Amino acid sequence: MREVRDIKEIKQRLLAAAIELRNICEENSLQLFMGGGTLLGAVRHKGFIPWDDDIDFYMRRDDYDKLIRIMQLSNSTSRYKLYCHELNKDYNYPYAKYVDTSSILYEKGCNCGVELGLYVDIFPIDGLGNTYSEAKKQMRKMFLYNSLIVSLSIDLWRKEASLAKNLAVFMLKIVALCYGKDRLYRKISKIAHDCPYRNSAYVGQYMEATGDKRIFNKESVYSRLIPMQFEGEKFLGMENFDLYLKQTYGDYMTLPPPEKQINTHGYRLLIKEQE
């Protein structure tokens, strides 16, 4: 095993995984597009945020489901593998990760249920209803069940967390274990599919604790995607990225102060010898 500490090498490996995933989606007419800090990096830096080392993609729920079905047939034939609960019942996240299996990644404070390597996150975009009030209600319902699932991936006691946060995780774990992991996943899937993306005026990504900031009018933000530069490659992004980024980050073109330009993803990355 070889440990990787160089952020440049980590970014090169992430980009290689992203290109492979993009190619699979293009071959199967699926729309994979940048979101979160990855979209911010594409707009502001034409690539990674300098101090960041992850990639976030979004997919509309129907395309997300199709990708999972496609990967059921080819998931074991590549250096890269899609992890999600639908393909691995031990997996502890409510969204998919596209993993470089030539590596092993240890994340501080996390127990994802399976051995992961360096990964790219894939978040589904779901329908939330036809009015903003409906969307807020749907978002909060989805976020509740999502929080229960995610609690299973968090260590029971983290030294860096406050007592209140550790107790909150403890209570969420109890509820999640009593409810049952498979039952929670079925509940999330039912809520998502009962409010289809194609029939909703408002849509959003409910995986992150940003609440109403992730609710958007579908036609205003997600209806049109365009190719955008990212580290010399082209990936899809929202044509109306300005609305998305302002609502998510505020004054997104202004750099944070130097003391906040830090990497918050605490992990250790090992490369397998046979690579």
* Residue 275 pLDDT grade (very low, low, confident, very high; cuts 50, 70, 90): low
Count up the domains in the chain and report the number: 1
Scored b (16 or more CB within 10 A) or e, 72-95 reads eeebeeeebbbbbbbeeeebbbbb
- Give the number of C-alpha atoms closer than 13 A to the C-alpha of residue 240, restricted to the C-beta side: 13
pLDDT tens-digit profile of 161-203? 788 888 988 999 999 999 999 999 999 899 989 999 999 999 9
pLDDT above 60 for 209: no
Give residue 216's domain range.
Answer: 2-271
Identify the bridge partners of residue 203 per DSSP, sorted by sequence position.
127, 216
Amino acid 206: pLDDT: 82
pLDDT above 70 for 208: no
Identify the bridge partners of residue 105 per DSSP, sorted by sequence position.
269
Residue 131 to residue 152: CA distance in whole angstroms: 32
Q: Are 236 and 28 in contact (CB under 8 A)?
A: no
Strand order in the sheet with 2-4: 2-4, 267-271, 103-107
Check the CA dihedral 129-135-137-143 and report its sign: positive
Closest to 204 (Cα-Cα) out of 119, 128, 132: 128
Across 99-108, average pLDDT: 92
Please give the residue that has the higher pLDDT: either 157 or 144. Answer: 144
pTM (2 d.p.)? 0.92
Across 123-133, average pLDDT: 95
CA angle 175, 181, 182 (to 5 degrees): 140
Q: Are 202 and 135 in contact (CB under 8 A)?
A: yes
Supply the DSSP symbol for 257.
Answer: P
Average pLDDT taken over every residue of the chain: 91
Residue 195 tokens, joined? 């409010």
Q: How far is CA 274 from CA 103, 106, 155, in A?
A: 10, 19, 31
Q: Are 127 and 198 in contact (CB under 8 A)?
A: yes
pLDDT above 70 for 75: no
Please give the residue that has the higher pLDDT: either 268 or 236. Answer: 236
Secondary structure E strands in 51-95? 56-60, 80-83
Question: H/E element holding 243?
Answer: helix 241-249
Cα dihedral: 265, 44, 209, 126 (round 10)? -120
Amino acid 210: pLDDT: 58
Closest to 262 (Cα-Cα) out of 49, 88, 18: 49
Amino acid 76: pLDDT: 64
Question: H/E element holding 8?
Answer: helix 7-27
Supply the DSSP symbol for 240.
Answer: T
